[in-house]
A and B are shown apart, each in its own frame.
Chain A
Amino acid sequence: MRELYGGQAVNEALTLALDLDERVFLAGEGVGVSIHDNPMGPTYGLLDRFGPRRVRDTPVSEAAIAGLGAGAASLGLLPVVEIMFFPFMTLASDMLVNHAAKFRYLSGGRTAVPLTVRVKAGIGFQAGCHHSHNLEAWFAHAPGLKVVFASNPADLKGLLLTAIFDPDPVVVVEDLTLYRMRGACPEGDSRVPLGKAATVREGSDVTAVTYGSAVHTAMRAAEVLEEDGVSVEVLDLRSLVPLDLDAILSSVARTGRMVVIHDANRFCGFGAEVAAIVAEEAFADLKAPVRRVAAPDTPVPFAPPQEQFYRPGVEDVVATVRRSL
């Protein structure tokens, strides 16, 4: 299959959505003219192609950007708004958590909010904790918001396309370190359904449940463990809300062991929810306690060796899988 960089895959999804439907528009800080101008960038070239009516640079106003999206969506447009870095989502969170997520409910089902919020996440680019802080569990905790988190170019494209045309508000988390990762990516309207996990590696001893960049950490760990004769099944959730319970439970039923891996910190992280569900629904299948591999409960540190230390690595996954055997 054709290969693209992650950023190009996002760009292709946005291009296709803008081409397909006049109701789609983009807004955010630098979605047109960007300080991060780069042909690998997710919105590179879209202003030239679609013009300023549909590709809107905004002031530095995250509440207004999110409100713009929620309000325009509730009148029937299909906004795709961008929040530049995940920690800035706190500034947009009232509009998302209290408004976009709740309008359908509060109106008794009379208002739909088909909003897409793209947010750049990730760790490992030495920007410190005001640019790096994976907050996906916050938004997964807000009823009414869907949350997707891709690990590869095909899913960056396919999940985003589905999100844009989904009738509910969707937070699309893009690990920006994947923008420069090359991988297979289908051409055309390659939508990926929300709520469907992907088994990216089959195995029989342990289920590694993960998403985003951590999928690659898990895959490398699985290769190391294979050399020791340990067979790890790697499940890429792709979508946190809706969550593919069937995929998790059926894999755990086969392996009897689960390790959850994410780049976000541990306490009340998304892994805690996955662990709780498996404890409730699949206790009898478990041969060992569920374990988590996650970042420590500190802000993301700046100094490169500390940032490296913070982010869960291959050795952490290998060690944790071994503990569960």
Chain B
Amino acid sequence: MQDILKKVTEAFGVSGDEEEIRAVITSEIKKYVDEINVDAMGNLIAVKKGKNKKIMFAAHMDEIGIIATFIDEKGFVRFSNIGGVSPFNSLAQRVRFKNGTIGSLNVEEKLEDKKALNIGKMYIDIGCKNKEETEKLVRIGDTANFVGDFFVQGDFAVSKAMDNRSGCAVLIELIKTLPKTDNEIYFVFTTQEEVGLRGAKTAAFGIMPDCAIAIDVTLAGDTPQSNNRDVKLGAGPAIKVKDNAYIAHPQIRRTLEDLASSNGIPYTLELLDMGGSDPGAIQTTGVGVPCGGISIPCRYVHTPAEMVSLEDLKNCVKLAGLFAKNYK
């Protein structure tokens, strides 16, 4: 699991630019599924055929990042955010463009009030002397992700893209270890979640599933002075009750809770007060889809040092497998 987590977190895949991560996942899973499709939004849709219920597991494969919007005469690059990028967390960080070019994020020197910091006042320095030099490495419209290399210490793993490559790793592991079932299981690696749950919408339309489970990270509440949340690293999967985009279907939530309890899987309940996830788009597809979520507790979401517990990931795989097998 650790190897696959390293592989998927290190792949490039800013929203709208998911080719590389899609290729990595495709090569990882193609031996284990009956069919793989890619739709017009770039979603990777893998199927294990069955004759009973159509269950859609969705993990988004895109990550937040930045997009180059302007290059000035001196070779500095202006940029805009893709997804929820905090200017404070970004300051003095490094970004890596798809072609490997590294840049450092800085702010105009005349900014006196740090509270007034915003992305419009920031720029990327890629160490070029002028516009021509820069343009050889970075073009307008190029995207970059944050630099935050993968490492493991004890049970905890850290990377720039645990949101949501840890979910992708869970889904890949689920594909490889899926218990025997007559349900038809769709494993969907969605695109453009970070800019508004966009990929999930067309993926769900193409599948029209009987139910859907999102596997995504959620904010942990176990750090100093953090909001009072039940969700903790190492305390097992967080079963979704609600976030800002949807309320979990009570039957799905109950099924997940029952399965966890009866199989000795620790869990907490997730009531997320900020941010949404793919079911927000999936649940209103067609005549409606009952949705739920198996969430991965994660510290420091949307920073280059997102942290999850490896033990939690294993338990997420277990719980998802039980759901796939037992959902009727």
User: Are A and B physically bound partners?
Assistant: no
> A residues touching B (Cβ–Cβ < 8 Å)?
none
